[in-house]
Structures are given as structure tokens and as C-alpha cells.
Amino acid sequence: MGLLDGKVAIITGAGRGIGAAAAKLFAEQGASVVVSDLDKAPAEEVVGAIKKGGGKAVAVAGNVMEQSTNEALIKAALDNFKGLDILVPAAGFCNDKVIQKMELEDFRLMVRVHMEAPWMLCKLAYPHFKELSQDGNYRRVVFVASEAGTHGNAGQSNYGAAKSGAVGLMRVLTKEWLRIRVNCNCVAYGFVETRLTQSTSGQQILGANIGIPEQSRQMGEQFMMLRGGRILTPEEAAGAIFALAIPQADGVNGQLVEVDSGIGL
């Protein structure tokens, strides 16, 4: 018996990091998972690992900034698993620069991936959530934000603003979707060990340099250690998404949960 037996989840950005750990945990706990990522190979690897462990999953590759990808995700859930219970729009990256060096396009890119993409997925899910709500069960959206949005972080005016937008979206949809029993909550991470927080590696996503400068990473690490905190693993980060997605948390709605080992206080 798993805590998510019979549930159908869409997780974006699930080819790596927190999304991949969430997809594996959800599947271990009985959910059927649509594993979505910009990159096909890592998404298929995650699906392979889930199936090897006896779970159910399907990979859908595509850019979540495109409406067609979000349509394909909903279709994959309905066609393959005949349901739609949980959305986790986790796909994302950052593109850090101080504001005087940042172009408007750098800002808009973050708004597109962290605000517009979750908005699109939710909008497309609405008619299905409404129809399915007649079964009396609670459904979920777990948004993925950052303490760059809730507390601020130098060099991330684009990313922090966009992640704050995801918190606002969560709060509005909480109110709009009370009647159809879709609980909306949001996790905001501090520092999690993933590709996103590795030293700048020359890797790019859609033209943006990902990773953070080694000096900033070291400063972040020292700041945390001094306060008794630590860098979390993707599995620990995924645990918070899972905790908000299980039916035992049906009473939790409209909440922002900071996941940072306690240093954000």
C-alpha cells in the first residue's frame, strides 16, 4: 500500500534534481507519473528507473514554455493513466546577473518558465479537475518557488520576481479552486544540491548560462553553515512536495512552506 495509490501526477522538470526525486518517490508510493523534461534522455532514464522498481510512468519531452507541451502533458496523463490528480510544475532554471547587467529578455525568460508555464498547465488542467471533482476527492497543485523570491537574493531580480509570482498564483488558485477541491500549496527551497546550484559549468538552457559562480556558491554554503543549516539533497526537497500531495494532507491549502533546514527563520 502506497500513500499515493491510484493517483496520477504530472511532474515537470522531472528529468533531473528535485523533479526526478519527486517522480521516483511518487511512483514508489503508488502514483502513476508523467515525467516531463526539456531533455528526452534524462526523462526516459527516470521512467526506466521507475518501471524497473515496478512503478508506472511515461516520459514526455518538451519545453514547458510552449502551450503544446502543456497540452501533451495533460493528454499523456489522461490517455495513459485515465486520471489527473496532482500537478507539480517544477521545471526551471536561473540566469543570474545584477540588474545593471541584466537585459529585459533575461527577465522575461524567467517569467516565462517560472510563472507562465505553471499558469498554462493549471489553465489546461481546469476543465478536467472540474469534471473529476465530482468523485469527491481532493486534488493538488504543488508549486515550486524559491527563497530568492520570499527573502531575496542578489543577482536574481528576474528569478526571484518570477518565483514570487508563482506564490501569488498559488494563492489566487487556492481561492478560485476551493469549490472544485483542488488544494494549491507551494514549496520554496533554500539551497538544494542539483545541477541548478553547481558552479557555473558552461552549460546552457535555452541560451541562458546555468549554475552559479563558484564564489557565490561558497559564500552561500558558508552562510548556511554559520547558521547551523545545510544544503539539502534532492530527495529531502522532494519529500516536502510529497508531504503536501498525500491525501492525509487534504486539510492543508494555500500554504507556502519554506524548505531550507531552518535557516530562513
Ligand X SMILES: NC(=O)c1ccc[n+]([C@@H]2O[C@H](COP(=O)([O-])OP(=O)(O)OC[C@H]3O[C@@H](n4cnc5c(N)ncnc54)[C@H](O)[C@@H]3O)[C@@H](O)[C@H]2O)c1
Owner of C-alpha cell 528529468: 15
Q: Give 258's strand partners.
A: 188
Alpha helices by DSSP H, listed for the chain, are 17-28, 40-52, 67-81, 104-111, 117-132, 147-150, 157-176, 214-226, 234-245
Measured from the CB of residue 72, what is the shortest distance to ligand X in angstroms?
A: 11
Checking DSSP bridges between strand 56-61 and strand 32-37, what pairing results, if any? parallel
For ligand X (CB under 6 A), the number of binding residues is 29
Measured from the CB of residue 73, what is the shortest distance to ligand X in angstroms?
A: 10
Out of 153, 183, 194, 253, the residue judged to bind ligand X by CB under 6 A: 194
Out of 28, 45, 56, 65, the residue judged to bind ligand X by CB under 6 A: 65
The identity of residue 146, as a single letter, is: S
Question: Which position's Cβ is nearest ligand X?
Answer: 17
If 0-12 CB within 10 Å is exposed, 13-18 middle and 19+ buried, where does residue 130 land? middle
C-alpha cell at 202: 558552461
Which region, judged by CB under 6 A, interacts with ligand X, from 23-31, 96-104, 193-201, 240-248? 193-201
Out of 4, 7, 15, 246, the residue judged to bind ligand X by CB under 6 A: 15
The residue (of 17 and 83) whose beta carbon lies closer to ligand X is: 17
The identity of residue 154, as a single letter, is: A
Checking DSSP bridges between strand 208-209 and strand 204-205, what pairing results, if any? antiparallel
Catalytic, 159? Answer yes
Out of 47, 86, 90, 224, the residue judged to bind ligand X by CB under 6 A: 90
What residues from 121 to 150 belong to the interface with ligand X (CB under 6 A)?
144, 146
Residues that bind ligand X (CB under 6 A): 12-13, 15-19, 37-39, 42, 63-65, 90-93, 113, 144, 146, 189, 191-192, 194-197, 205
